Amino acid sequence: MEGGRYRFSGETLRKMIMEVQQATQFKVPYEQEWTEDKAVFIVKDGGLYLFPSHVTENKQPVYAHGFEPRSLFSRMLDGSDFIERIHLSDRVLNRIHDGWELVLGIEDDAWCVHTERRSMRGSV
């Protein structure tokens, strides 16, 4: 996957983050291991979305803006499907809980986690 910035926001994201803040165990992908390190999964398989890495009844994905299944941008994503673990600091969790956007950037196979106030940026 080439470099880019992917934005996530909305009530479904806030609900997921509220659960992350309360959860104590998080799955490590491709392993039979769990950790206390707060995180979500980012998944690419016909769309690009966040998915809970903790035990939950709520299995609703949060799609990156413009990367819903079968969207033009989703069809343009190259490379293999994947699932990766994204660590979320307390500061990031609190900001998302307060309504900020989560922005994930990727460069040279490394994820960068940022938050932005929704009013600070123009329309998508």
pLDDT in tens, 45-98: 878 899 999 988 888 899 998 776 665 555 556 667 888 999 999 999 999 999
For residue 124, being part of any structural domain is answered with no
d(CA 33, CA 17): 21
d(CA 44, CA 34): 22
For residue 71, being part of any structural domain is answered with yes
d(CA 20, CA 53): 8
Domain holding 33, by residue range, is 9-99
For residue 4, being part of any structural domain is answered with no
- Count how many domains the chain has: 1
Q: What pLDDT, on a 0 to 100 scale, did the predictor assign at position 78?
A: 60
- Going by C-alpha positions, the residue among 62, 55, 52, 58 that lies closest to residue 85 is 52
For residue 120, being part of any structural domain is answered with no
For residue 115, being part of any structural domain is answered with no
pTM > 0.85: no
Q: What pLDDT, on a 0 to 100 scale, did the predictor assign at position 102?
A: 96
For residue 68, being part of any structural domain is answered with yes
Partners of 48 in the β-ladder = 44
